[in-house]
Structure 1
Amino acid sequence: MSEDNDDDWFVEHIFSSPFFLSKPKHIAAAVSGGSDSMALLSYTLLWAEGRDIQVSAVTVDHGLRDGSAAEAETVAAYCAKRGIAHKTLRWDGWDGTGNLQASARDARYALMAEFAKQTGIDTIALGHTEDDQAETFVMRLARKSGVDGLASMKGRFRKSGVDWVRPLLLRSRAKLRAHLERNNISWVDDPSNEDARFERVHARKVIAELGALNIDNGILSAVSHNMASAKDALKHYTLAEARTHAVTESGDLLLPRFEPMPHEISRQLSVNALQWIGRNPYGPRNRAIDDMDYHLSTSGAHTLAGCHITQTERHTRYTREFNAVRDLVGPTKAVWDGRWRLGGPHAPGLEIRALGEDGLAQCPDWRGTGLPRISLLASPAVWRGEALVAAPHAGLENGWVVKLWQPFVQFLLDGL
């Protein structure tokens, strides 16, 4: 197959696969100026040709190193020359604490999603490649990740009201650069790709060493795709067990202790319970789950991932940890803690806060609800300043009702 025919075959059979079920009307390629993203833009244009699809490009300049602004300008100039709509988004939100790469990644998604919603873009294409897949696999292998962590990235997902696709996951960086060279498209090499401070750089060097065993990016990427198939199967049976055995009680989740099910399915239920209640994008690592199980077996209680977990003879109860929401304040018409929607006589000056000890003391009938004290402390309540107006979970309704924004089973379905 000639190189040009290989490009045509890749566009029609591989690049297009994330769009089989839903074709975008307006897609934006996330372009940094590196070879992966420049190839992403080129292939996106090839794929969109003749399909009545508008193509744009968006660049996020984190401003974290010298030259980033110039790289964004290079992308802008390239797009202007070819008549491609382009926008540079700038981020200056890092406060110098926490994980820089994670903060920059979250900022990229948030900035691009907001820009997409403002401009009518329904889909954003990301330039993750076979090489990225292999490097991620090795990094997670070093952390002793299970099936979830070792599974390949999703080719398509929805986040912040926008569809995201990764159409290059089965294409190597070498082939992408060959495509760029054939089409006289230049790119910028990011110096951070050689910065030994970053874990991904070490992973890349490890993979190079594995070449002596005939293990390369393609093989590691294929294994990660196999893991993704296993992950899908686990999620299917986790959902089935949740529908049968999981009980929701005023936002708490009760899981049976002694129902016969494979250990991994039980672990999946625990991880998803912690994510659903704690509003965490990622589940705790296996070691943290093992520690939780140990403390539950010895003391009957544990806190993890913003949740308080208790154990009885029959159930394990997952509830929101009060300390995780004690300072969380929001308007009564908003979704509080990412979980709760309140209905009632909304009025200026009212706000939602956790009930806490002060609020619980003002609910004389709270014991009649049958809910544990620890659960009620983190429950949503309506306040006017320091005066408690309503606490529906604690028996003080005053015309207010509270509903879950997303039931547990729906949370599991959305993650499939």
Structure 2
Amino acid sequence: MSVDSLLADAELEEFLTLSAQSPFFPETKPTGVAVAVSGGSDSVAALHLMVQVAQLQGFALHAVTVDHALRAGSAAEAAGVAQMCAALGVPHQVLRWEHGEVEGNLMDAARRARYGLMADWAAAQAISHIVLGHTADDQAETFLMGLARKAGIDGLVGMQSHWDQGGVRFVRPFLKVARKDLRCYLMQLGVSWIDDPSNDNDRFTRVKARRALKALKPLGITVDALGQVIDNLFLAQGAVETATRDAMERVCREDAGEVVFDIREWRRTGQEEQRRLLVAILRRISGAGYAPRGSGVLRVMQAINQGQDATLAGCRIRVSDKLFRVVREPRAVAGVVSRPDALWDGRWQVDGPFAAGQVVRALGADGLHQCKDWKSTGHSRDSLLVSPAVWYNDVLIAAPLAGFGRGFDARIVAPFNLFVLSH
């Protein structure tokens, strides 16, 4: 091996180690870190790099593998990862996705299950961070997939470098690192990895994007080039988010679970800021994990501008001359019942002197009829119909927002401004 290649090897390892440290330097002090390891090259490289970082920074390191149980051999691959971790002295856990027939988008369902399982496991182990091995190649593929969906800025800026779920922070330290560099690092170590056969299955959109990226290389559309495009879009996204933040403060407010928009200020707001605000509000009120389809959002925006009511994503949009209100649709909460210790409709926390057998469900028309002074609350009838109430069988015990009953309180757990700005 030449002196030049030795220097290149040393520089590569330094670059990768600094990347691996980036989520934990300088102020973050994790209570424990886990690496999600599938056995593929990216996650195996992440594991080896995090072993070094854990030694440098003095935190406990774990590894976790999710067996999706979707193909033969997945359990054996998880067992192989367990052996690898044992050789490195890293505690390892296999989490199995127990499922029946998966309907709809298989990859999306698997992704949701994977992160949910890992978040629950990490929280139970007092692990504060989970490291994912996604690379610049994954970013470029995600960009192409966004193009295929005709996505806007948010769908083209790639994957998030971090996000919080269930009290655990997921981090992607290698989004600026090419997959070939991680594989080069593993070859230097003499470490092998598993090639997932699904990576050759044209059934999956990401595989198609990966092959398209290879075909586009002669045009100069490479992983590095798309990475620069994503960086530029990220800056543009920040400018739009700032404008949306400013618009939120003057255009809308939350009242009893509904969001009230000032029509005059709405019309003074740019179309993209309007769209972002509306999407965020629909997600807040409906509790949906994803934004509604763009065609549906455009339809609602047109209805608002024409002074017409509309519905979308389990929400009603009520339009008048001076304002419009976005409120939960009654049929969306019909039959939604929660125990006293659980959130109702995914966002309401009800506190009070609950007795045995009492539950939380929507107030509804029958309940509102019993609240003789509801008009004095200043809340709209639409919002109170879908507000949380305490029931014992068919007996109304309390309706906090409608001024009925004593000792009970209802509140939305996520602050309005923080929710809007984070979606």
Please tell me whether residue 373 in structure 1 is matched to residue 381 in structure 2. Answer: yes
Q: Deviations over 1:52-96 (max 9, x none)?
A: 121110000010111100100000011112211000011113442
Secondary structure of the residue aligned to 1:11 is: helix
* 1:137 and 1:221 in contact (8 A); partners too: no
Please tell me whether residue 283 in structure 1 is matched to residue 283 in structure 2. Answer: no
Equivalence map 1:402-413=2 (5 Å) = 402-413=410-421
Aligned to 2:158: 152
Aligned to 2:301: 293
Q: Deviations over 1:19-71 (max 9, x none)?
A: 23413231100001111111111121122222112111000001011110010
* 1:146 and 1:286 in contact (8 A); partners too: no
Please tell me whether residue 312 in structure 1 is matched to residue 317 in structure 2. Answer: no
Task: Give the Å deviation of 1:370.
Answer: 4.2
Sequence identity percentage = 42
Aligned to 1:274: 282
Task: Give the Å deviation of 1:332.
Answer: 2.1
Aligned to 2:106: 100
* 2:142 and 2:159 in contact (8 A); partners too: no
Aligned to 1:71: 77
Which range moves more in the overlay, 184-193 or 351-360? 351-360
Aligned to 2:135: 129
Q: 1:167 aligns with which of 163, 169, 173?
A: 173
Task: Give the Å deviation of 1:131.
Answer: 1.1
Aligned residues: 414
* 1:369 and 1:393 in contact (8 A); partners too: yes
Q: Deviations over 1:186-239 (max 9, x none)?
A: 111111111111111111122112112110122112222322222223223322
Which range moves more in the overlay, 114-123 or 336-345? 336-345
Structure 1: which 5+ runs fail to align?
A: none
The amino acid of 1:56's aligned partner reads: H
Aligned to 2:46: 40
The amino acid of 2:300's aligned partner reads: M
TM-score using structure 2 length = 0.93
Q: 1:339 aligns with which of 339, 347, 363?
A: 347
Aligned to 2:32: 26
Q: Deviations over 1:138-191 (max 9, x none)?
A: 111111111111113221221110011001111111111111111111111111
Secondary structure of the residue aligned to 1:144 is: coil
Task: Give the Å deviation of 1:397.
Answer: 3.2
Aligned to 2:406: 398
CA 16–134 in structure 1, closer or farther in 2 if over 3 Å, else same:
same
* 2:201 and 2:207 in contact (8 A); partners too: yes
Secondary structure of the residue aligned to 1:331 is: coil
CA distance in 2, matches of 1:167, 1:189: 22
* 1:152 and 1:227 in contact (8 A); partners too: no
Aligned to 1:189: 195
The amino acid of 1:19's aligned partner reads: F
CA distance in 1, matches of 2:390, 2:275: 35
CA distance in 1, matches of 2:321, 2:28: 48
Task: Give the Å deviation of 1:7.
Answer: 1.4
CA RMSD of aligned residues (A): 1.9
Which range moves more in the overlay, 196-205 or 351-360? 351-360
The amino acid of 1:16's aligned partner reads: Q
The amino acid of 2:76's aligned partner reads: A
CA distance in 2, matches of 1:138, 1:72: 30
Secondary structure of the residue aligned to 2:56 is: coil
Aligned to 2:3: none
Q: 1:326 aligns with which of 323, 334, 348?
A: 334
The amino acid of 1:17's aligned partner reads: S
* 2:281 and 2:420 in contact (8 A); partners too: no
CA distance in 1, matches of 2:203, 2:283: 30
Aligned to 1:111: 117
CA 299–315 in structure 1, closer or farther in 2 if over 3 Å, else same:
closer
Secondary structure of the residue aligned to 2:275 is: helix
Which range moves more in the overlay, 24-33 or 234-243? 234-243
The amino acid of 1:393's aligned partner reads: L
Task: Give the Å deviation of 1:401.
Answer: 2.2
Structure 2: which 5+ runs fail to align?
A: 1-6
Please tell me whether residue 228 in structure 1 is matched to residue 234 in structure 2. Answer: yes
CA distance in 1, matches of 2:86, 2:22: 29
Equivalence map 1:202-281=2 (5 Å) = 202-259=208-265, 260-281=268-289
Which range moves more in the overlay, 363-372 or 404-413? 363-372
CA distance in 2, matches of 1:189, 1:202: 17
* 2:64 and 2:92 in contact (8 A); partners too: yes
Which range moves more in the overlay, 275-284 or 59-68? 275-284
